[in-house]
Structure 1
Amino acid sequence: MIAWHIVLRFLWINFFIMILFMVNLEASRPSIGHFNKENKKVFEFLADSMSNEGELLKGEGNVVLLTSDFYIVAHQATYNTQKKIIEVRGSVLVFKGETLYMKADKVRFELDEQYSILEPFYMHDAESGLWVSAQKAILERQQYNVQGSTLSACSLEMPIWSISFKEGTYNQEESWIRLWHARFFLFDYPVFYSPYFSFSTNRSRQSGFLFPKVGHSKDDGIIYHQPFYIAVDSQWDATVTSQYRQHRGFGGLAELRFSDHRNSVATLRAGYFRNQQSYQDTFDLANKASYGYQARYVRSGLFSEFFKLVKEDGLYIDWTELNDIEYLRIQKEGEGDVDIYDKLLTSRINYFLKGENNYVGIYSKYYIDLSLTNNDTTFQTLPTIQYHSHTSPLLWDKLSYSIDYKLHNYWRKEGYTTTQNELTIPISLTQPLLNDYIMLKLSTALYATYANHSNITPQLNDFLFFSNYYTFAVYSDLIKPYKSFNHSLHLETEYTLPGIKERKGDVVPSLQLPGDQNKVTFSVSQYFYSPSKLEPFLYHRVTQPFYRNHQYENIVGDFENELRWFLSENWSISSSIFYSFSKHRIAELSHDLSYQTPETSLYVGHFLRKKGMRYLENTYDLAEADFIHFAINKNLGYFGVFGSLGYDYKEHYFRTWNVGLQKSVRCFSYRVRLANEMRPILTTSGIQPQENRYILFELQFDPVGAVSIKL
């Protein structure tokens, strides 16, 4: 039997002897250190053998120089102890951390002056992947000065792109490269010359000019965008972009971004573009200039972290004000988001504050119909104020009530305006039956509204409406596990019965009165879950209402069917259908099919909406729509292909299509896109389509910058 304790003791003794031998071997190597005025070691010099010739100390074999920043190895080194100069020769390798930083045949350091000469010179920055090769470089303090050099971030043997320059500097502290008389090469072909060129090698934000976007179009001529980036503080930055169009005019766009102490980012954007008179006359444009501004901000916890009574609050801002659709189109040009499907642009400012038992909300909606020359007659909701008292027990734990009050201000510049007050007080009784398999809910609601009309001739009488209505609901929630999935089912029947009603004055279309008709609603919703996942892989819901109107006519409401199905980890499908039994037609539908893998993405979607087909739904102001959208993106290895199209069945034309190629490697990426769009322009007679076809070249030279060219 093996005595394992003897074997282990033998191994420990041998390991200890080996460590002592290595320490003594290293300690036996000749070495010398250099100290500064504060008696701190600046560097340490080690070699297999050293000899002293006057003020020169020579090292031979496995030379090692250790500094606070670098680790240097070479074949030979000579150190002048009086002048504090050291020369290192023979396959010099300089490491920074664990990464090879540069290499040369000869390096000369002046320790007191922080001055070095490197011949020939090669430097590699591990963070950016950038390398510089030159016959000679001078390092003075934190800056390299090089002449007759080449730099790139691609392979050294055959770089995809490179920059040759006559003179250049690299500041290590600022991570900034400046080049004079720079020639840009794609492989071996020169494509661009600049007398001066500079850029940063790190990813931190720095102020300066960004790469311009250059293009050309049949109508606008030469197009030039020049952005300037401003980064003064870590919490905010800005981009100011000037824009010139040869045959059209000039303008600019400014964007300010800042973050608060909770890392919520706000974006403010404003733009202006002025058309030439000849261009405005040619295309019959409604406006001489297009301008606008936008604000985006989402923030939670404005006051909840300061006041204990406030449990939760939040602010949401998504606001756009413009005079012309061109303001949106010009700033998004070439970004792929060229098709505006909905002509109604909605801005929102919402704030809510939630306490233990109460809720307060302020909501504003501002609508811009992009097809109109002005929106003076468009109704705006500025604002809606809501107070809600959460459901609370009333004398009995199964009896509950809540209070809801809303103030709506429907305003517009021209035409009548309305201010509406609404008060709803529902009282509900909930009773479980059959061992909690069935729930019975009986409720009554007191509802009152008062609407004041103004700015109209002839004068409308103020509207006063009071009612109470009853709701009877029976529902059941069932859950059953199976071997491969879990199934949950919700069944519900709800009946709404109008009670006492009293009305006085003139009602306008913007007012909706709840509980005004007899209504029975049947609904079924179900979820299918995988046992190992919380997210459902299949969701299905159907709803069917029935009405009895004031003329005692029975009306079948709109049937709604909604489905979301994740067929696998890659495939998913969703569908929503509204069928109008009163019109015997589909009122609205949408279908979406998508496929997603790391190498492939596919999307097919169809949307249909008929105007005025939904029963008792306020959809008469929404435009009809019938279009499909298709998009694909496939990585073929050597390159990727992509494409998309949008076809309008109602107008019978392709709204947009594009196809292209793309490729991305470590130092370089490109994207070539052929696109055609039917862009809307606002003329004196309203919105008119205008065809725009172009080729867009997008080249990314990492970490130098990017170039975008539109033809």
Structure 2
Amino acid sequence: MTKQLEPWWSMLLRWFLFSFLLISPLFAGDLIEFYAKHLDAEGTKVQAEGDVLIIYQDSYISADRATYDSNSTELELSGNVVTLKGSEYQFVGEYVKINLDKKEREISPFYMLDKPSKVWLSSQKSKSCESTIDIEKGIISGCEPSDPLWEIYFSSSDYNIETKWINIYNARFHFGGIPLLYIPYFGYSLDRSRRTGLLIPSFGVSSSEGFYYEQPLYIVLGKSADLELRPQMRTLRGQGLYGTFRFADSKSSKGSLTLGYFREKENYFLDNNLQNDKHYGFGFKYQNTRVLENWFGLDLDGQSGLYSDIQWMNDVDYINLSSNDTINTVTSNQVYSRVNLFYNEEDDYYGAYLKYYLDLNPQDPDKRKVTIQKLPILQYHHYLDSYLAQHLYYTLNTNANNYVRQDGKEGTEVEVDIPVTLQTSLFDDYLNVAYKAQLYGRMIDFRGEPDVNVTQGIYERGYYGSLSHMVNISTYLTKGYTDYSHTIGFSATYTKFGNDKKSGYYDLVANDCTSDIPSNPKDCEFYTLSNVEDNVALGFTQYIIDDSGKEKIYHRLSQPILLSSTNTQEEGLGDFENEFRWSITDSISFYDDTFYSFQRNEWAKTLNTLRYQDKAFNIGFSYLYENKAYRDTIEPYTNYLNVDASYRYNSHYKYFGKYAFDAENSIKKYAEIGFLYTKRCWDFGMRYVENNRPILLNGGITSSVFDRYVYFTIILKPLGGSEVNYRTTDTLKSQ
């Protein structure tokens, strides 16, 4: 037993004596722990050899040999010296000299690895004092050290461990072993936390706009706020500035404010016949999931929330010019702003909403003034209540709409909807029977002066009330099999539109506003009632679920039968719908939703998608067709085809493409093909893009332009990179 304990006691004694020697000259400062297989002490010097390990503050140093002098507090290490500082840095060298008193280090040769960013730096020699490391001639890269694809050679460098900022002098960039670029000075931060600085720039060349350059600036304003400024220059078109202020005012809320301005050069403005020589706007987004609690200090049992998305701009080019990549920008003829406030509890829901529509391409300069806005909408909803052992149900929903606009008639409309349902199950739950009585009412009142183009005398206070009856019979049957289960459902619903009564506005415009093409559309601006006639709706649904719970097939058939005629449809069969979703395999899926009109003997609408997706391939086809000729003479048909595909060859290579075609107007809407190569230290990609986007010409005329791009993406990780593109532009058409 004694012989087995001797080495352990001997090593412990040596470690204790050596630790005492280290601590004494430092006057009981930071503890230095010293471990080694062999320790020899002579006077003020101690020599260690074999698996030397030193622990000092948050650093761990290992070496083959070490010598320490307590007078000079110098520690010399040699042979496979590795220093680990915390969990972020690793220093490697053959010889290291450390002055513990002066906090100076000398390492040769020198190798440093910043683990979070995976950036390494190698040189023949380095010296450091406190938190600064001075490095002689060396190399820096983020690639694999054994075979780096890109490297930066330098004559000297210094690195601050605390700020993580590195300065590089006389930098020579090599790619694939070939020198490509010389920069006298290059500075970069290895800190991945939020900090003020320049972001990745964007470059481009356009046949019509010249050279494009955008240099974003990121500014940290605090722990919960920052600012991003994006100045841009288009040498043949003009200059602009966009900025976004982001903030989080509590743990449950955040928001952003975006402002933008772009000024056209006079030559470009005149040559392209644009509507405006200045494009400006703003956007404000905010969401708060505890707004009443946070703002008013209320202690509520329910949940409150606020969502805001407010957008304003003087024309569509404010969106087009917000970046150089317009293919990722959604443009529309109308901008929709909204503010939603709600409070939701177990039995009741309260809501207040603001909706504002902004027209971006008004051929009529007064169109914005006559657009009806809903400011505000008030809603109350009482959730389903049950009585008589859950056989009797009722709910209540009310809405109040306040219609406002700059010019023209305004109004206030209130509606109430009270459905009451009585239901039961028969024949041991094989058959479900339900009866619903639905009481519905509206009231509208007007104010302000009417438009001169509106039929005189129609804006009387209007009342509308109806009582409809519905009987529903349904059954659902499920059968289990070895690998799957099958569920089918049948339903038949008879709706009797009992009694209704109209007065005032609702009665005066009803016939014209419920026709396919009203004789005076302006009369119908406030009329949103739809004809509900007696009908029978037949439905069939089936599901197939496999043993893992995944849906394999979903199928739904719906056939309405009109028992009386309306202004838009005659008595008889309504539009038949067939919806089908099929997971053919784990990789292949198909979806179809088709409507057929028996009254017009033609396909009314169809949407088809087919997709194949596995670890390597993702290929999709979609087709949309809609026949609106019976109610829309301007754009009677929609005929749209979309194809997308991507192929991941391996963990590095990815190829992709997209194509969108408007078959009705024979216009290519969008096309893209490209590839992306990704590795640990760099990304390189190229793509060719064609994109059709709208613009606004002088006189309120809408037009579209066809952009052709060639994008080059180069990113040196983690130093950064940029996306460079070349673009040509053609004007397609005017409306």
Q: With structure 2 as the length reference, what TM-score do the two structures score?
A: 0.86
Q: CA deviation at 1:142?
A: 1.6
Q: CA deviation at 1:673?
A: 0.9
Deviations 1:237-268 (A, max 9, x none): 33211111111111122123334654555333
1:101 maps to which of 67, 85, 90: 90
1:705 maps to which of 720, 725, 734: 720
Residue 559 in structure 1 maps to residue 580 in structure 2: no
Deviations 1:139-182 (A, max 9, x none): 11122121322100112233111222233222222222222333
Distance 2:290 2:309 in 1: 18
Contact kept, 8 Å, 2:315 with 2:361, in 1: the verdict is: no
Q: Pick which of 362-371 and 422-431 moved more.
A: 362-371
Q: Pick which of 290-299 and 654-663 moved more.
A: 290-299
Give the alignment's Cα RMSD to 1 decimal: 3.1
Contact kept, 8 Å, 1:100 with 1:124, in 2: the verdict is: yes
Counterparts of residues 162-561 of structure 1 (less than 5 Å): 162-259=151-248, 261-262=250-251, 265-303=254-292, 310-334=301-325, 336-337=327-328, 343-372=333-362, 375-393=368-386, 398-454=391-447, 455-457=449-451, 458-459=456-457, 460-507=459-506, 508=524, 510-513=526-529, 516-533=532-549, 535-547=550-562, 548-549=564-565, 553-561=570-578
Change (3 A) 1:531 1:343: farther
Change (3 A) 1:233 1:167: same
Contact kept, 8 Å, 2:204 with 2:324, in 1: the verdict is: no
In the alignment, residue 493 of structure 2 is paired with which amino acid? E
Contact kept, 8 Å, 1:304 with 1:310, in 2: the verdict is: no
In the alignment, residue 682 of structure 1 is paired with which amino acid? L
Distance 1:146 1:433 in 2: 87
Change (3 A) 1:407 1:621: farther
Q: CA deviation at 1:223?
A: 0.5
Q: Pick which of 578-587 and 445-454 moved more.
A: 578-587
In the alignment, residue 222 of structure 1 is paired with which amino acid? F
Deviations 1:91-114 (A, max 9, x none): 322234689812223222111221
Aligned to 1:603: 620
Change (3 A) 1:445 1:403: same
Q: Pick which of 521-530 and 125-134 moved more.
A: 521-530
Q: CA deviation at 1:220?
A: 1.0
Contact kept, 8 Å, 2:683 with 2:715, in 1: the verdict is: yes
Distance 2:617 2:638 in 1: 29
Q: CA deviation at 1:644?
A: 1.0
Q: CA deviation at 1:363?
A: 3.2
Aligned to 2:81: 92
Give the secondary-structure state (helix, strand or coil) at the position aligned to 2:591: strand
In the alignment, residue 362 of structure 1 is paired with which amino acid? A
Give the secondary-structure state (helix, strand or coil) at the position aligned to 2:268: helix
In the alignment, residue 630 of structure 1 is paired with which amino acid? V
Contact kept, 8 Å, 1:56 with 1:81, in 2: the verdict is: yes
In the alignment, residue 544 of structure 2 is paired with which amino acid? F
2:611 maps to which of 583, 588, 594: 594
Q: CA deviation at 1:621?
A: 9.6
Q: CA deviation at 1:227?
A: 0.6
Give the secondary-structure state (helix, strand or coil) at the position aligned to 1:184: strand
Aligned to 2:518: none
Deviations 1:305-332 (A, max 9, x none): 9767643343333443222222222335
Deviations 1:601-639 (A, max 9, x none): 22222223333557xxxx899885322121111122362
Give the secondary-structure state (helix, strand or coil) at the position aligned to 1:34: helix
Gaps of 5+ in 1: 1-12
Aligned to 2:510: none
Distance 1:420 1:649 in 2: 42
Contact kept, 8 Å, 1:334 with 1:696, in 2: the verdict is: no
Contact kept, 8 Å, 1:545 with 1:558, in 2: the verdict is: yes
1:575 maps to which of 586, 592, 595: 592
Change (3 A) 1:600 1:517: same
Contact kept, 8 Å, 1:465 with 1:502, in 2: the verdict is: yes
Change (3 A) 1:320 1:511: same
In the alignment, residue 549 of structure 1 is paired with which amino acid? S
Contact kept, 8 Å, 1:641 with 1:660, in 2: the verdict is: yes
Contact kept, 8 Å, 2:163 with 2:191, in 1: the verdict is: no
Change (3 A) 1:612 1:398: farther
Q: CA deviation at 1:682?
A: 1.5
Q: CA deviation at 1:369?
A: 4.6
Change (3 A) 1:477 1:296: farther
In the alignment, residue 171 of structure 1 is paired with which amino acid? N
Distance 2:311 2:79 in 1: 65
Change (3 A) 1:400 1:73: closer
Distance 2:253 2:179 in 1: 45
Residue 635 in structure 1 maps to residue 648 in structure 2: yes
Distance 1:38 1:538 in 2: 78
Deviations 1:519-565 (A, max 9, x none): 222222332222322x5332222222222136895143222222222
Deviations 1:443-467 (A, max 9, x none): 2222221122344144522322122
In the alignment, residue 518 of structure 1 is paired with which amino acid? D
Number of equivalences? 691
Give the secondary-structure state (helix, strand or coil) at the position aligned to 2:109: strand
In the alignment, residue 582 of structure 2 is paired with which amino acid? W
Deviations 1:584-605 (A, max 9, x none): 3333322222222232222222
1:626 maps to which of 639, 642, 649: 639
Distance 1:527 1:363 in 2: 38
Distance 2:358 2:663 in 1: 25
Deviations 1:385-443 (A, max 9, x none): 11122233467853333322111233443443342111122222223222222222222
In the alignment, residue 687 of structure 1 is paired with which amino acid? T
Counterparts of residues 17-166 of structure 1 (less than 5 Å): 21=7, 24=10, 31-32=18-19, 33-35=21-23, 39-47=28-36, 49=38, 55-96=44-85, 101-166=90-155
Give the secondary-structure state (helix, strand or coil) at the position aligned to 2:483: coil
Aligned to 2:513: none
Change (3 A) 1:56 1:395: closer
Contact kept, 8 Å, 1:580 with 1:613, in 2: the verdict is: no
Change (3 A) 1:598 1:239: farther
Give the secondary-structure state (helix, strand or coil) at the position aligned to 1:499: strand
Contact kept, 8 Å, 2:320 with 2:326, in 1: the verdict is: no
Contact kept, 8 Å, 1:339 with 1:655, in 2: the verdict is: no
Change (3 A) 1:50 1:482: closer
In the alignment, residue 406 of structure 2 is paired with which amino acid? K
Give the secondary-structure state (helix, strand or coil) at the position aligned to 2:318: helix
In the alignment, residue 717 of structure 2 is paired with which amino acid? D
Change (3 A) 1:292 1:444: same
Q: With structure 1 as the length reference, what TM-score do the two structures score?
A: 0.89
Distance 2:71 2:95 in 1: 21
Q: CA deviation at 1:62?
A: 4.3
